[in-house]
Structure 1
Amino acid sequence: MDQTAREQEAFNAATAMVTCLLHGDRAEARRIAYSNDILYADMLLILAEALAGCHTADSWQASVLAAHRED
C-alpha cells in the first residue's frame, strides 16, 4: 500500500470511528479501531490532530479534566 492510500484508509477509518461515537455506537467504533493494526497509529494521529485543531492548551486541559471526572 502506498503512502497516499494508507493515509486515506486511516483517515476514513478515523472519521468512521467518530461517526459511530456520535451515534452512540461505541462497540462499532472499537471494532474499527482494532480492525487494522497497521493503520492504528495513523488513525490515532489523525484523531489527535483533529482534536488539537479544536482546542487551545487551556481548553484542552479543561476538557481532559472534565472527561476524567466523568469516568
Structure 2
Amino acid sequence: MPDRQDEAFNAAAAIVTCILDGDTREARTIAFSSDLLHADMILVLAGALAAGHTAESWQQSLLEAHLGGDS
C-alpha cells in the first residue's frame, strides 16, 4: 500500500476511534487536517462501512440516521 493510502487509512481509523470515544471535536480536527487526503479518507471510510452492510441494512441505517438527526 502506498504511503498516501497508509496515511488515509490511519486518519480514517483515528476519526472513527475518536467518534466511538465521543470526541467529535478531535475527529473533526483530523478530518480537516489534510486537504490532500480527503478523497482517500472518504473511500477508506465508505469501504469499511459498506463491508458491514447489505444494501438493505445500509438503506435502513441511513434512514434511521437521517430521521434521528445524526450527523
Q: C-alpha separation between the residues in 2 aligned to 1:12 and 1:51?
A: 15
Gaps of 5+ in 2: none
- Once the two structures are superposed, the pairs formed by residues 1-71 of structure 1 within 5 Å of their partners are 4-71=2-69
Cα distance in 1, alignment partners of residues 3 and 52 from structure 2? 26
- Across the aligned residues of Structure 1 and Structure 2, the Cα RMSD in angstroms comes to 0.9
The normalised TM-score by structure 1 is 0.95
Q: Post-superposition, which runs of at least 4 consecutive aligned residues in structure 1 deviate over 2 A?
A: none
Q: TM-score, with normalisation over the residues of structure 2?
A: 0.95
TM-superposed deviation, 1:4:
0.4
- Counterpart-to-counterpart distance in 2, 1:27 and 1:40: 17
**How many residues matched?**
69
- Alpha-carbon displacement from aligned partner over 1:5-50 (angstroms, at most 9, x marks no partner): 0000000000000000000000100010000000010000000000
Letter in 2 for 1:52: A
Bigger shift: residues 38-47 or 3-12 = 3-12
- Structure 1's unaligned 5+ residue stretches are none
